[in-house]
Amino acid sequence: MDPVTAATIDGLDLFGMLGTVLWHLLRIGAALQVLPVIGGQGMPMRARLIVAVALAAAMSSVLPAPPVAGLDAATVLGVMREMAVGIAIGLVLRLAFEAGRLAGELISQGMALSMATLADPLSGASSNVLSQWFYLMFALLFFAVDGHLALVQLLADSYRTLPIGTALPDPMHLASALPVFFSTVLRTGVLLALPVMMALLASNLAFGVLSRAAAALNPIVIGIPVALLVGLVLITFAAREMQAPVEALFQEAFLAARALTA
């Protein structure tokens, strides 16, 4: 084989490998774009790109090669389909972190911290400090329970159950799977906040009764610092028992995400 032909074959192989990586990058990059912790505005764009390209290159070497694409409408639909699958997987996992935001919003009402807001790296908007604290707690637990490894396994399995170029699943199957997980998110958020909410409610009721009995006791001057102190102490104790329900929520999130590509 002459050098020109060998160089041409090597070039074709290189472009074929690059096309395979790009096909896998569509779904993986779309998922990382909306995922919490390792995606969104909380992570620099260059870092997200490096992680997405590394995952796509690694998966493209062990997964079946995608079909040869041309410049036609089928290729455009395939690109849109891959991005839609990746965004759907990322949004389901992101929905699990909304349970922490809900718990923070509920607790902050009783601690008089609803007006203390910070920039939220998950959505880019502003949220209160307790929602940020629950978000960081969920993020730490996500890595502590090997959620990042389960995410890689989920993306790899999605290519086996829903290969590149195949039709999307039945929309009715998606419509039946997501409401069940959404109710789990709401239930988990309320249950995480319920003990602290009840204790703060009892504290506020006690100071309300005292202010009626003794007019000199100002419920705003005395009650708000006490409610803040009681809330911080209870959140400290609640953090020790948070791993089990949050881990169960992550498991439900991965099951719901797998149902999207089943």
Residue range(s) defining the domain that contains residue 9? 3-260
Q: What residues form DSSP beta bridges with 126?
A: 119
Indicate the pTM of the whole model.
Answer: 0.81
Q: What distances in angstroms separate CA 52 from CA 67, 93, 219, one per listed residue?
A: 21, 17, 53
Beta carbons within 10 angstroms of residue 137's beta carbon: 20
How many domains does the chain contain in total? Answer: 1
CA 169 and chain centroid, separation: 22
- Dihedral sign, CA of 62, 81, 93, 256? negative
Instruction: Please give the average per-residue pLDDT across 216-225, as a whole number.
Output: 69
What letter would DSSP give residue 167?
A: P
Instruction: Give residue for tokens 């920039």.
Output: 119
pLDDT: which is higher, 220 or 209: 209
Confidence of residue 249 (pLDDT cuts 50, 70, 90): very high
Distance CA 86, CA 29 (A): 7
In sequence order, which residues have a C-beta less than 8 Å from that of residue 41 and are 6 or more positions away?
A: 121, 122, 124
pLDDT tens digits, 74-107: 777 888 888 888 888 888 888 898 898 888 888 8
Given phi > 0 = left and psi -120 to 50 = alpha, else beta, which region is 17? alpha
| Residue 233 CA, distance from chain mean position | 28
Q: Which distant-in-sequence residues (6+ apart) come within 8 Å of 204 by Cβ?
A: 110, 223, 227
